[in-house]
Amino acid sequence: MTEPTFATLVSRWYEENARDLPWREPGVGAWAILVSEVMLQQTPVVRVLPAWRAWLDRWPDPAALAADTPAEAIRMWGRLGYPRRAVRLRDCAVAIVERHGGAVPDKLDQLLALPGVGTYTARAVAAFAYGQRHPVVDTNVRRVVSRAVAGEPDAGPVTRPADLVACEELLPLEPAAAALASAAFMELGAVVCAARSPRCPACPVESVCAWRASGQEAPAGPTRRPQRYAGTDRQVRGLLLGVLRETTGPVPHQRLDQVWSDDVQRARALAGLVTDGLVEPVGEAAFRLVGDGPATPLPRP
């Protein structure tokens, strides 16, 4: 009898142990999956869940978001973190309406051409929304493949072309099975093959894992040095955005001055928000969220 493949073992485990997440439910559309993938970047699932539901309640399709302002996207994003993602997601919705009649495209090259959609997100949507065969490689997948196949305790800091090749070689040829395996690899890395505390006895591929066979230990220190937040420009940016989100229209400079006592740092943080396309000046003495005015509706498909 033929031994089950690596993908088969992980897929069987996934079908019995996958977390119950709403964007994985049958019938969830490509737009909802795209929104989830953008929100999940550098953000824990527990924080994404309520934000994802609220976002889709308000903007159930790309046309609905495209017809609203960038400012409203930033407001709705709230404190999810990395708010430029909100603006990119709104730009993406506009492009979907203008180029694809309001439907998220199913071709990889068209997905890659959308604003703010990179290598990972495009392949994730193609696989999870349309059941296509593409290597979907994030940090968790790279760690699983690095350990189980290459025998290394951890993967590098960024995704390389070689990572896509290594992952694709593990995928079944049949597209639906490959899409399932892609989701399974990600889940395994997220909940079992963790960076610092892997639960190897619970792993479906422990018996064939090259890293376990090598006897190497997981790295003792953090994969990446934790970023300091208190007192940083990032904190000041968040405080400034908080005031601007709570106000419709221009906010006087004097009110923003109360957010942070260091004039130089506050000015630098505000300038950064303008450069990033999140905030815009109004005259010489006020600022507002970008596009925080009457929406210009786009024709719905």
Query: Which helix (H) or strand (E) is 286 found in, with range?
Result: strand 286-289
Residues 11/179, Cβ–Cβ less than 8 Å: no
The residues near 183 (Cβ < 8 Å, ≥ 6 apart) are: 14, 18, 24, 127, 128, 136
Q: How far is CA 275 from the centre of its chain?
A: 22
Q: Which of 3, 25, 37, 168 is catalytic?
A: 37
Please compute, for residue 51, the number of CA atoms within 13 A of its CA located in the half-sphere on the CB side: 23
d(CA 125, CA 121) in angstroms, rounded, equals 6
Q: How far is CA 240 from CA 68, 101, 232, 283, in A?
A: 22, 36, 13, 18
Q: Residue 220: phi, psi to the nearest 5?
A: -80, -35
Distance CA 293, CA 290 (A): 9
Rounded distance between C-alpha atoms, residue 93 and residue 70, angstroms: 11
Residue 101: Cβ within 10 Å count: 12
φ and ψ at residue 128, rounded to 5 degrees: -80, -25
- Assess whether 246 carries a catalytic annotation: no
- Residues with catalytic annotation? 37
